[in-house]
Amino acid sequence: MNAYFPSRLYQLRKERGETQSEIGKMFGMTRANVSAYEKGKSIPPYDKVVVLAHHFGVSVDYLLGQTDKRNAPEDETSEQETIDVMQSLRTLKADVKDKSKKVYLNGKRISLTERQDVCEIIDSIIKIVEKMQ
């Protein structure tokens, strides 16, 4: 990691008015983990960097200090964005259905029944997005 990550994580968290504990709960970390990341004493795994960037609406490059532009360049075509949304929804559904994976919602592991409910919700969203096309 680099010197930019700790300060940018801190800045983004403060801008949203979120506490270290809240961030920790949302992403399956402790308050101490978040504090260590903000102080540069610890490095989060890459998957945590990705979800943090997504949560704050910035690119991973921005969070890591590779660019000063907060957001990734916009795609020129809205059609490509729809394809990305659909792919993300289908991937999420497949991950939720995969019984070999542990699935969490807001830091709490969910049951098989809850997984089925989440899949039904995702199916409903997919149907709505398909109607938009």
| pLDDT tens digit sequence for 31-69 | 999 999 999 999 888 888 988 998 898 999 999 998 888
Residues 20-46: b if buried by 16+ CB within 10 A, e if exposed: beebbbebebeeebbbbbbebeeebee
Provide the 10 A C-beta neighbour count for residue 65. 15
Which portions of the chain are predicted below pLDDT 50?
75-83
Q: What is the pLDDT of residue 81?
A: 45
* Domains in the chain: boundaries: 4-63, 78-132
Indicate the residue type of 43. I
Q: What is the pLDDT of residue 80?
A: 44
Indicate the residue type of 34. V
Domain range 4-63, CATH architecture: Orthogonal Bundle (1.10)
